[in-house]
Amino acid sequence: MKAIPVTAVPSVEFDGALIRKLSQSGPRYTSYPTADRFSEGYGYRDYLMAVAGLRTRGAPRPLSLYLHIPFCESVCYYCACNKVITKNRDKAAVYLDYLKREIEMQGRLFAGMNQVEQLHLGGGTPTYLSDAQMGELMAHVRRWFDFAPDDSGEYSIEVDPRTVSVERVHSLRRQGFNRISLGVQDFDPEVQKAVNRVQPEAGTRAIIDAARAASFRSVSIDLIYGLPKQGVESMERTLAKVIETDPDRIAIYNYAHLPHIFKPQRRISEADMPTPDARLDMLALCIRRLAGAGYNYIGMDHFAKPDDDLAVAQRQGRLHRNFQGYSTHAEADLVACGVSAIGSVAATYSQNVKTLDAYYALIDKNELPVARGTRLSMDDALRRTIIQMLMCGFELSVEAIEQAYPVAFADYFAPELERLRTLEQDGLVSVTPGWLTVTPKGRLMVRNICMVFDRYLGAGADMPRYSKTI
């Protein structure tokens, strides 16, 4: 494994007592306003107006594309994604036809300003599509959008190692993907059985090796802590194996057990769930082991090698956060295709319908399948900027905010600054007239800090729908 200088790791401090005191339900801020605040009053025609606004603005920015493939062969009990569980491959063929029609509609809409620098395929399981179907899809996307060269564009796909072969990984690289993300969750067999995702370690390693051999620019591994049957010892073993595979990025998500919302989670035995203290011990272990292995703490659940594009973007102030997590393309408008997909164009968000029948019906009417969304007010845009700064760079410049928006920061945010005093006393933030800085101790709890600036949380937000901040 290539040595990485530990000195490159920015400081993040674990304080279990403080986390126990302050952890609460709250948004993950992949958008602001968050998706639960989107309105059905925003529809297809509003989206058309947003794209028209991009044309009048001139000098179009590069685009980011997201394609949602909802199908999975079997259900993982922890999963909270919008998915369709089926072994009937004909359903994917039908969906692919409609997805290609939506891509064409979006391509026509963005004609002349369709330069793409980022592509992400998520789900579900994108590799549920056959190799031939994926080839057709990628060729179709390139027919309607102009992609930046491989060495500058970021083209990623989520892969379930159980569904792909070594040969398929090489084919994905030839089809244009240069970043690959593997769902692992946990290597422990008992944990895998408890969440209905049995995934032999040897198969996962073979796919990682294949990605290296195929010259993927980045290999990312997803883990989850807080799953049934997990403990500190099993997590230690999993982390050792993951570090040995030398991924460029590691995401370690806190499992949000919300069985009242997500039906598959009802199959998990409450008796198998780790205690809150055990979850915190696992988190502390993850931070300690990954820092010791030389990974930078990016924020939230993400770690990356110091020379990875995410870490570089963070150091250069270019890091961004969107519906796929952290991103290096801060200025890109996000065009999203597929059932339930969420996009961000100009000062708007839009989400597609969530069922296949509704999706097909609207495309048959030659309408983009937009179900809901929101148009950002100046206040929304301002607060989104603040939350982005805190989530991505752990600080904000008051002067920069006042230059970008017509506000006197101390006056406009007087109530928020007052609430921040409590967090400052707890050691999470440092507040001065010119800067708001998240401390190393506060970085793990940056969601709590961002919630101070969320004006919707006091306006009927359904807090039980959110996961715990830690």
For tokens 């997909």, what's the residue? 341
**Is 176 annotated in some ligand binding site?**
no
The rounded Cα 34 to chain-centroid distance in angstroms is: 13
393 is in an annotated binding site: no
72 annotated ligand-binding residue: yes
* 256 assigned ligand-binding residue: yes
**24 appears as a binding residue in the annotation:** no
Query: Is 117 part of any known ligand binding site?
Result: no
Q: Is there a binding annotation on residue 66?
A: yes
What is the C-alpha to C-alpha distance for residues 108 and 19, in angstroms, rounded to an integer? Answer: 49
- Is 56 annotated in some ligand binding site? no
Is 222 one of the annotated binding-site residues?
yes
Q: Which two tokens stand for residue 214?
A: 């195929």
Whether residue 78 is annotated as binding a ligand: the answer is yes
Please tell me whether 330 is known to bind a ligand.
no
Determine whether the annotation assigns residue 124 to a binding site.
yes
HEC string of the chain equals: CCCCCHHHCCCCCCCHHHHHHHCCECCCCCCCCCHHHCECCCCHHHHHHHHHHHHHHCCCCCEEEEEEECEECCCCCCCCCCCEECCCHHHHHHHHHHHHHHHHHHHHHCCCCCEEEEEEEEECCHHHCCHHHHHHHHHHHHHHCEECCCCCCEEEEEECHHHCCHHHHHHHHHCCCCEEEEEEECCCHHHHHHCCCCCCHHHHHHHHHHHHHCCCCEEEEEEEECCCCCCHHHHHHHHHHHHHHCCCEEEEEECCCCCCCCHHHHHCCHHHCCCHHHHHHHHHHHHHHHHHCCCEEEECCEEECCCCHHHHHHHCCCCEEECCEEECCCCCEEEEECCCCEEEECCEEEEECCCHHHHHHHHHCCCCCEEEEEECCHHHHHHHHHHHHHHHHCEEEHHHHHHHCCCCHHHHCHHHHHHHHHHHHCCCEEECCCEEEECCCCHHHHHHHHHCCCCCCCCCCCHHHCCECC
The answer to the question of whether 297 is labelled as a binding residue is no
Q: Is 81 annotated as a binding residue?
A: no
> Binding residue per annotation — 286?
no
Indicate the annotated binding residues for S-adenosyl-L-methionine. Answer: 66, 78-80, 123-125, 158, 185, 197, 222, 256, 342
Indicate the annotated binding residues. Answer: 66, 72, 76, 78-80, 123-125, 158, 185, 197, 222, 256, 342
Indicate the annotated binding residues for [4Fe-4S] cluster. Answer: 72, 76, 79
